[in-house]
Structure 1
Amino acid sequence: MTYLSRKTKGSESLRSFIDMQSKKRLRAAFIIFFISMLLVVGKLFHVQIIKHEWLKERAKENWDREIPFGAMRGDIMDRNGDLLVGNKLAPTLYFMPSQNPDISSSIPDIAKILDLPPEVLEEKMKKKEYMVKLAPEAKNIAKQQADEITKLQVQGLYVGVDFVRHYPYDDLLARLIGFTGYDSKGLAGIEYAYDEILSGVGDKIRLFTDAKGIPLPHVEDGFEHGKEGSSLELTIDLKMQQIVERELIQAMEKYEATQALAIIMNPKTGELLSLASVPGYDPKNYQSTDSTIYNRNLPVWMTYEPGSTFKIVTLAASLEEKVIDLENESFYDPGYTMVANARLRCWKREGHKDQTFLEVVENSCNPGFITMGQRLGSEKLDRYIRSFGFGETTDSGIAGEAKGILFSKEKFGPVEQATTSFGQGISVTPIQQVQAVAAAINGGNLFKPYIVKEIKDSEGKTLKKFEPELKRKVISEETSAQVRHALESVVANGSGRNAFADGLRIGGKTGTAQKVVDGRYKDGDYIVSFIGFAPADDPELLVYVAVDSPKNSVQFGGVIAAPIVGRIIEEVAPIAKIERRKDQLEKEYRWGDAVTFRAPDLLGMSEKELLAQQYTFKMEWHGKGKKVIRQLPAPNTLMTVEDTIHLYTE
């Protein structure tokens, strides 16, 4: 009995223990289940709520296809808002092979419209890709071609909107503006330097398909708007640029020159009103042009010995330091001067003999400028040269700008000092010379040259406006006034007489530099130049022209370049609102000067009326109108019997 009782109690204890273990297991299972449910709910919440949009977009990426539209690149305009470079519609074809596995029958018709061999298209259109861009064969096709292809109703073939650059003035400004490549990215010039600003983002059409590229039913296609690029308004004046390029092209033909360049700057601000290099090229077909042409914007890239135009810097430094007296001090030029046992000659072999320092400037006398450099001393001369901006880039923002070469202080000996004084032995760029001369004539203020006036968004709102930037003061106003007076005298009485224009008060300086090839001066090969400004008492325009390797003429800047600058100033003066005046230095007549006369008033006349007058001078018509509304030179302007009167009709 006692034994059975103990046995029963033992069984009860065992059952009780088992029950307790079972409850623990059930509780643990319930907790695990509960936690698992929480994790599942949390995951669902995370996937369906928190990451819903992200997962939705990832899913769309697996079943949507994009047909991109070309981005609208920003326009490039001149200072007055005239379009220089814009955009033109040029569609591109896209093909989805999965939507049309049997494309062979349509290829001949497509190839005929595109004027392509069928096998070229077939190779592209049978690629195992979800979407094929038919480029370059069917990129930037004509709108008429796109319309004809659309009419074929080829399954899976889509026409995407694309754009190419439009040049309303063909190759005008080509070497400054540059061009864009296959992907509409800037590759040269302004297009390259300001590519980030000009580039836009194209629109997109989104087509929703399954994994095989078959369009999904009941799912509407989408459209994403892009963004047009910002536009540039340059400081360039279109009318001035046209005049300058015409003059350079004529000079190239007349003198059979290798190349030529020109710059027009406002000396009071640093704004570049014209920047020209010839020969030019067609930016639409740049691939067919020698890269040495489109990669070299001559006014900022080309470096060479400046010759006598550099004497303006020596003159300004000498006047500022008061080491010469222009009109009250005499100088004797025997035709050469000896420096450290080196005989340095004047361009005039027999010398200019007795002359004032004003006549030294008028005659561009090398020994006279060597004396100025010696009186300044090597340290001061070097300091002024660098202060005027030589030896470093101008920071104009134009791609490809060089900085030239100056003598180091260690190598700036007596002979180097002497040759530098008259512009030989150093290497500078045209834009450096223009920057320096602008400072010499504008009151002594060295302004940074700049080419971009404003940046505007696609709606015309100004994003950034560029203002004149003064670098430093290099000479005083009093010294600058003396420089202006001396350079006006050069044009009236000296080596720059061929740049003289009646009533415009032109000042300037000639330059003739022998070219250096492989470290040696090349006989008979020169770069001739002239830098001129007007009006001489208060300059509004500064014009620099250089002609490389001219032939068929005496190779002097005063003979070849000076007349070009004179004509350019005459034509652009009305655009710059510069009026003719009577208070100028009279041009001194010399034996051999051309016979001159006053231009008649031809305004309002027709071609028939002009022929009846039987004028003996040359006339050139511009425009298709019947009557003359403008003439250059203007009526009553002094001109030679060999000059041409340009007549502009309505």
Structure 2
Amino acid sequence: MKSDTDSGQNNKKALIYRARIVALFLFVFAIMVFGKLIQVQYYAKFKGKTWAEYAEKNDLKLDTIPAMRGSIFSSDGSLLATSLPYYYVGFDTKVADSTYFYDNVDQLARLLVKNFGENTFDGYKDKLIRYRKSKSKRYLRLKNKEIGYLEREKVKEWPFFARAKKGGGGKFEMIYKRYKPFSPMADRTIGGTDPKSGRGYIGIEASFDKKLEGKDGINWVELVEGGIKIPVGDNLNIQPETGKDIYTTLDMTFQDMAEIALRRKLTEAQADFGCVIVMEVATGEIRAMANLTKRPDDKYEEVFNYALAGSTDPGSTFKLPTMMALLEETKMDPNKVTVNTGTGSIRFRGLSINDSKRGGHGILTAAQVFEKSSNIGVHLLMQRYFFSKPDKYLGYLKQFHLTEPTGIHMKGENPPYIKNRSSKQWNNYSLTFMSYGYEMRMTPLQTLAMYNAVANDGYWVRPMVVREIRSAEKVEDKILPYVSEKPICSPETLRKIKIMLEGVVEHGSAKNIKTDLYRIAGKTGTAQKLINGVHTAGKYYTSFAGYFPANKPKYSCIVIIDTPRGAKENYLLYAGSVAAPVFKEVADRIYAHDVSIQKTQKDTTSGEDKLVKWAGRTSDLKVIGEELKLAPLPENAQEYTAGSVIARNKTKWKSRTIESKDIPDLQGMPMRDALYILENKGFRVTFKGSGKVVGQSLPPGSNKSGLKTILLTLQ
């Protein structure tokens, strides 16, 4: 017992001894730092004066040196936003000795006239000499606007700048400007920075501002007339640390596809705004997020992020969770349970419930209710199974992850508003209205997350737009996909609802977007807009949410078109005619681009030699040729090349001119290259078949017809 006590006392003494050693070390270190500050302030000299002497004159101060903000990259490493250095060109007229000044002032004035042109030769020279002789002025900016890095390198060779370190007087005041190479694409998603503070205020720039901003440095600056701060000396006291780089999940090829299709439809429909989101099913990685708003000049720009913050009644896309709740609760066979929807209009407690089809649908199965988007049918099913237990229905909505935000790592997501029975807004009609997407608020992203969960075999995935945070090439933080541990519904419900989602496209409200190349599953949504407290016919918020290929989903997508106009008939303003075609156009382009989801083509070639022709980017064909050990391409080949081969020793290459023709020759090109070329020339592209281009509706050469739509035949 005594030995234990002695041991404890010895340990205590050892700890006290170590603490005293550490305290002594810190004290000595503090004395050294204090001594260094005294030495720098009162003994170290710059331009013949101590720093204390400068401080007494109040023209020298410590100031922050802004850090270079980190960059933002796409999923393939393409630069989306970065900070570029720019420079104000300044001149301290009293630094150079008199002989050097007067020997070189004429040459400087001539260079200023030639390169900057903001004054005459005499004007520049007189001002330089006037500042030189002035008792109150000494420093002036030689150009009102800043210059770039390459121009700065030229200016560094001018007199006064070439000998800046030896007392020439030439100065560069560096600032950073944000540059977005793909702008205006995805502007709202990438975000922006405040010109004054440099801080991010929207999008990824704001959401990851702390990571991007870096750490400012500290340096002595000299205050000159006009409040301009001139760095003093070459070495910064504390070096600024560059911000971290953000690597996103965005694919700018997909973004381009989404924006082109969305802009075309918005313009055609004279709509107020629109949104497209493309997401990878298994990971929740967002590949494209397009948000376009109609401006006063009738052009469409990225002004507001509807994907994150555009909360509104979702309309009939919400029939998906309603039907899933019915299936979960009743275990019904949707092909055997029927309701009579009558002639398209019924009364319920004084309320009129209508279907969009004139004359109504009559008797429908539950599956047909969903596929044809019958409001009456959904109401009757809800009345039959949930009116006596509304809390059960609301519980399913929570189970489907519809009552909470998605939690995407971006600022600005509006939370969903799903009423419960304790809400003051709850009334006798709430259950009916909610069942087909009214009296609630959801964003397009929240709706898409629900459809994505169905595509992902019932497992809900959090949408994500940032994949990694890096410092230089070192990965400092990796954001992994979040997938729920449990599925949102039973396998049987999932099987039934998937068939019904495909049925919408096969023979339901979106059968106009059916394609033989691959299967689409999804649901239309047409909600009357709430104007002055009244849901108004003819003013619609249209949407289509779904996934593809339906048999093995890789991508989910939602399209929003708000307030389409110009149609003679109301049904032409519904989602099936407005939003669904945009979904198909985006899906078609992704299908043509992503070979991993394309159907495998059977090899029908015989063992005999056969002439093969193809065309594409020269860089791609060079890699293919080297891999297949074909004859090398000509060294002077242009950007695109056509090739033919009948055997390895019989390969022919020929450069193909693209830019000089209104309509280029696309024969032999893959769909990806053909789409890129034509869309950059302003054509709307449709296609049939798969493989390489074997035919085009508009012949190569001058576009005498003036048509801007072209049909490509692939084989």
Q: Is the TM-score greater than 0.5? A: yes
Match of 1:431, SS state, is: helix
CA distance in 2: counterparts of 1:481 and 1:135, whole angstroms: 72
User: Highest relative contact order (Cα 8 Å, sep 6+), 1 or 2?
Assistant: 1
Whether the 8 Å contact between 1:327 and 1:356 is mirrored in structure 2 is yes
Equivalent pair of 1:206/1:222 in contact (CA under 8 Å): no
1:332-378: CA deviations, max 9, x gaps? Answer: 11123433332211222422111211111111111111133331332
1:82 aligns with 2:87: no
Match of 1:359 in 2: 368
Partners of 1:513 and 1:47 in 2: how far apart?
A: 70
Q: Tell me the residue number matched to 1:20.
A: none
Structure 1 residue 537: Cα displacement: 3.1
Match of 1:405 among 413, 417, 424: 417
Distance 2:495 2:234 in 1: 71
* 1:322 matched residue in structure 2: 330
Supply the distance in 2 between the matched residues of 1:57 and 1:502 (Cα, whole angstroms).
78
**542, 561, 569: which one pairs with 1:528?**
542
| Shift, 1:312, TM fit | 0.6
After superposition, where does 1:466-545 map in structure 2 within 5 Å? Answer: 466-471=479-484, 473-545=487-559
Q: 1:395 aligns with which of 407, 413, 417?
A: 407
Once residues 240 and 277 of structure 2 are traced to their aligned partners in structure 1, the CA distance between those partners, rounded to angstroms, is 38
What is the CA-CA distance between 1:302 and the residue it aligns to? 0.8
CA contact (8 A) 2:258 2:586 kept: yes
The answer to which of 296-305 and 322-331 deviates more is 322-331
Partner in structure 2 of residue 591 of structure 1: none
Is 1:579 aligned to 2:606, yes or no?
no
* Distance verdict in 2 for CA 1:455–1:621, change over 3 Å: closer
| Aligned AA (1:166) | Y
Q: State the partner residue of 1:589.
A: none
Residue of structure 1 equivalent to 2:38: 55
Taking the TM superposition and a 5 Å limit, the aligned residue runs for 1:182-201 are 182=195, 183-201=197-215
AA aligned to 2:71 is D
In 2 relative to 1, CA 473–58 (structure 1 residues): closer, same or farther, beyond 3 Å?
A: farther
The answer (yes or no) to whether the contact 1:230–1:455 under 8 Å persists in 2 is yes
> What letter is aligned with 1:54?
L
Superposition pairs of residues 40-51 of structure 1, within 5 angstroms? 51=34
Q: Structure 2 counterpart of 1:556, which letter?
A: Y
Mapped to 2, the partners of 1:297 and 1:50 lie a distance apart of 51
In the alignment, the residues of structure 2 paired with residue 331 and residue 134 of structure 1 have an alpha-carbon distance, to the nearest angstrom, of 80
- In structure 2, the residue matched to 1:415 is 429
**Using the alignment, how far apart are the partners of 2:495 and 2:696 within structure 1?**
31
Look up the match of 1:310.
Answer: 318
How do 1:197-208 and structure 2 match up within 5 A? 197-201=211-215
**Are 1:254 and 2:268 an aligned pair?**
yes
C-alpha change, 1:79 and 1:128, in structure 2 (3 Å) is farther
Structure 2 partner of 1:373 = 382
What is the distance in 1 between the residues matched to 2:182 and 2:558?
A: 23
Q: CA 1:436–1:50 in structure 2 vs 1: closer, same or farther (change >3 Å)?
A: closer
Q: C-alpha distance in 1, partners of 2:321/2:314?
A: 11
Aligned counterpart, 1:71:
67
| 1:297-319, Cα deviation, whole Å (9 max, x unpaired) | 11011112111111111011111
Query: SS in structure 2 opposite 1:158?
Result: strand
Q: 1:418 to 1:139 in 2, by over 3 A?
A: same
- Aligned partners of 1:500, 1:602: CA distance in 2, in Å? 31
In 2, distance between residues paired with 1:117 and 1:200?
39
- Give secondary structure in 2 for the equivalent of 1:532: strand
Paired residue for 1:179, among 192, 197, 218? Answer: 192
Match of 2:204, SS?
helix
> Alpha-carbon deviations, 1:30-50, whole Å to 9, x = none?
xxxxxxxxxxxxxxx999857
Shift of residue 226, structure 1, vs aligned partner: 3.0
- How far apart are 1:498 and its partner, in Å? 2.1
Relative to structure 1, the CA distance from residue 442 to residue 46 in structure 2 (aligned partners, 3 Å threshold; closer, same or farther) is closer
SS at 1:90 equivalent: strand
Q: Distance in 1 between matches of 2:257 and 2:278?
A: 11
Q: Does 1:563 align with 2:581?
A: yes
CA distance in 2, matches of 1:362, 1:147: 68
* C-alpha contact (below 8 Å) 1:69/1:162 kept by paired residues: no
Shift in alpha-carbon separation, 1:50–1:379, aligned structure 2, 3 A = closer
Contact 1:193 1:399 in 2 (8 A): yes
1:497 partner amino acid = K
Contact 1:256 1:550 in 2 (8 A): yes
CA drift of 1:391 comes to 4.0
Among residues 658, 677, 695, which one is paired with 1:623 in the alignment? 677
Report Cα offsets for 1:509-565 as digits up to 9, x if no partner.
Answer: 111111112322234221211112112233211110011122233101111111111
1:151 alignment partner, SS class:
coil
Cα distance change, pair 109–603 in 1 and its aligned pair in 2 (3 A): closer
- Secondary structure of 2:201 counterpart: coil
Looking at structure 1, the residues matched to 32 and 304 of structure 2 have their Cα atoms a distance apart, in angstroms, of 59
TM-score after normalising by structure 1: 0.74
Relative to structure 1, the CA distance from residue 438 to residue 248 in structure 2 (aligned partners, 3 Å threshold; closer, same or farther) is same
User: What is residue 690 of structure 2 aligned with on the other side?
Assistant: 635
Q: Which residue of the partner structure matches residue 460 of structure 2?
A: 446
The 5 Å alignment of 1:254-273 reads 254-273=268-287
Q: Please say if residues 75 and 198 of structure 1, whose CA atoms lie closer than 8 Å, have aligned partners that are also in contact.
A: yes
Change (3 A) 1:326 1:86: same
Compare 57-66 and 434-443 and name the one that shifted more: 57-66
Q: Deviations over 1:64-101 (max 9, x none)?
A: 77798753322211122222223333223456687599
Q: Which moved more, 1:254-263 or 1:93-102?
A: 93-102
Shift of 1:473: 3.6
**Aligned residues of 1:315 and 1:372 also touching (Cα < 8 A):** no
* Match status 1:233 vs 2:240: no
Q: TM-score, normalised by structure 2?
A: 0.67
Runs of at least 5 residues in structure 2 that lack an aligned partner in the other structure: 1-27, 45-50, 55-59, 162-167, 224-231, 602-611, 616-641, 643-655, 668-672, 680-684, 698-707
**Equivalent residue of 2:330, what SS?**
coil
Task: Write the distance in 1 (CA, Å) between the matches of 2:534 and 2:135.
Answer: 62
**Residues 258, 150 of structure 1: alpha-carbon distance in 2 compared, 3 angstrom cutoff:** farther
- When Rg is computed on C-alpha atoms for both structures, the one with the higher figure is 1
Amino acid at match of 1:517: I
- 8 Å contact kept, 1:258–1:550: yes
From 143, 153, 158, the counterpart of 2:160: 153
Query: Residues of 1 paired with 2:583 and 2:369: CA distance?
Result: 22
Q: CA RMSD in A?
A: 4.6
Distance change >3 Å, CA 510–CA 179, structure 1 → 2: same
Percent of counterpart pairs with the same letter?
Answer: 23
Asked whether the equivalents of residues 171 and 280 of structure 1 are also in contact (C-alpha less than 8 Å), the reply is: no
1:384 pairs with 396, 417, 438, which one? Answer: 396
- Alignment counterpart, residue 299 of structure 1, candidates 302, 307, 310: 307
